[in-house]
Amino acid sequence: MSWIAIAIGAIGELRELFGLLTAKSKTTNVHKKMIIRELRDNLKRYESVFKNRLSINALIDDISNEAIEKAINDNFNFKKLKKGYIPESIIHEPRNRKYIGWTAEAIVEKIDEKTEELKSIKRLNGGTVASLAKTNINLMLSNQFYRMKLLGRFINE
């Protein structure tokens, strides 16, 4: 779980992001509110797993993408989440450089896709990711965490 120690190393940044996301979730648009709250809550789940040294299986079980799925099913316009494109100025991690120029919709779709992939891998492997030799679950979770942080920064920009 060393990946998450590095990822959550800047707890101050996460705490600030939680506050900003909470403020942004105070909107009358139901889908926007639910997506932002889900993003904030998922980031808090990562933080809890690190602080309490919980199982990554529990993290995968608990990560939610229900608000995203509901918004997609209801044809939510993700431009309402955040207009424009991800600028280079909010990229803090080199691994996120590939998302420069992406829209909120594109990164939300990527987060949704990877959440589903993690849940499927766990389900197909008998309910655990502990014994997977050819799939780097730690890297997948780390990348997902950084994507979520980037989306949070973009929404608050």
Whether the pLDDT of residue 48 is over 90: the answer is: no
Domain membership of residue 31 as a residue range: 2-156
| Ramachandran category for residue 102: left, alpha or beta (phi over 0 → left; psi -120 to 50 → alpha) | beta
> How much is the pLDDT for 26?
79
Amino acid sitting at position 104: A
Using alpha carbons only, give the angle 31, 156, 112 rounded to the nearest 5 degrees.
45
Q: Please tell me the pTM assigned to this model.
A: 0.88
Number of domains in the chain: 1
Q: In this predicted model, what pLDDT tens digit does every residue of 117-127 receive, in sequence order?
A: 999 999 999 99
Residue type, 18: F
